[in-house]
Amino acid sequence: EAGVAQSPRYKIIEKRQSVAFWCNPISGHATLYWYQQILGQGPKLLIQFQNNGVVDDSQLPKDRFSAERLKGVDSTLKIQPAKLEDSAVYLCASSSGPNGRVDLWSGYTFGSGTRLTVV
Amino acid sequence: GENVEQHPSTLSVQEGDSAVIKCTYSDSASNYFPWYKQELGKGPQLIIDIRSNVGEKKDQRIAVTLNKTAKHFSLHITETQPEDSAVYFCALNDYKLSFGAGTTVTVRA
């Protein structure tokens, strides 16, 4: 099966500019996640979607970050305006449980990520 | 999120030797413990997982052990090879993954 697709692979922007990342999960996976991975750290969850609804966005800096998953398939993550501390790899992952619900035992499939550098 | 501590942060081993990475957690309700491998420029990839009703699981050269009483679990890689060089993350899955800080493993030829 095709993996999780993300674009772009790299992005360099100046602080206060805006940027958007795109993710196409594995076909049929109802749950989609965006993670932020700062250099030298483990990934940190930003937002979790179940189909096109938000399940958890408690760690999303909502004053500057937004995300949507229209039609329950593709998703976009936007940062506006960007700060220097937003420099990181943004990872998208998807998973599928029984009947399309979140499954505690399901492994996640990650995309290769988008490396964002804010200068 | 759930707190997961991972040690060591870096590990250098001679090819053919074993590597062991340990993680501890605080939430006794945690029931699923996956391990991910991340190679340079790629996303994390699930390599092995263990559920709370199992004490040990093996898959060829890798194994994971779980001690729920002590709240720690470990990854064991035997007969290490150069392609095992990567960053390894332990995680907890409580309907969302919480990752440890990662261990950079270097296998010396």
* pLDDT tens digits for range B45-74: 999 999 888 899 999 999 999 999 999 999
What residues of chain B lie within 8 A of the CB of A107, using their CB? 34, 46, 49
Q: How do residues A15-55 score in pLDDT, each as one tens digit?
A: 999 999 999 999 988 899 999 999 999 999 999 998 889 99
- pLDDT of residue B75 exceeding 70: yes
Is B40 an interface residue toward A (CB < 8 Å)?
Answer: no
Cα–Cα nearest to A32, from A17, A15, A53: A53
Of B41, B97, B102, the CB nearest to A108: B97
Residue A40 to residue B102, Cβ atoms within 8 A: yes
Of chain A, the percentage scoring pLDDT greater than 90 comes to: 76
At residue A101, the pLDDT reads: 54
CA distance A102 to A104: 7
Determine the 3-state secondary structure of B58 from DSSP.
strand
Among B52-56, B80-84, B104-108, the least confident range: B52-56
Give the minimum alpha-carbon distance from B17 to chain A in angstroms, rounded to a whole number: 25
Q: pLDDT grade, residue A102 (50/70/90)?
A: low
Among A16-20, A88-92, A94-98, B60-64, the least confident range: A94-98
Instruction: Report chain A's mean pLDDT, rounded to a whole number.
Output: 91
- pLDDT of residue B32 exceeding 60: yes
At residue A63, the pLDDT reads: 96
Average pLDDT over residues B73-78: 97
The dihedral sign for the CA sequence B99, B94, A23, A83: negative
The residue of chain B nearest to residue A102, with distances taken between CA atoms, is B95
Is B27 an interface residue toward A (CB < 8 Å)?
Answer: no
Cβ within 8 Å of residue B23, ≥6 positions away? B4, B5, B6, B7, B33, B72, B73, B74, B90, B100
Give the minimum alpha-carbon distance from A96 to chain B in angstroms, rounded to a whole number: 12
What residues of chain B lie within 8 A of the CB of A108, using their CB? 44, 46, 97
- pLDDT of residue A98 exceeding 70: no
What residues of chain B lie within 8 A of the CB of A40, using their CB? 101-102
Beta-ladder partners of B85: none
Is B52 an interface residue toward A (CB < 8 Å)?
Answer: no
Cα–Cα nearest to A25, from A57, A69, A80, A90: A69
The residue of chain A nearest to residue B104, with distances taken between CA atoms, is A40
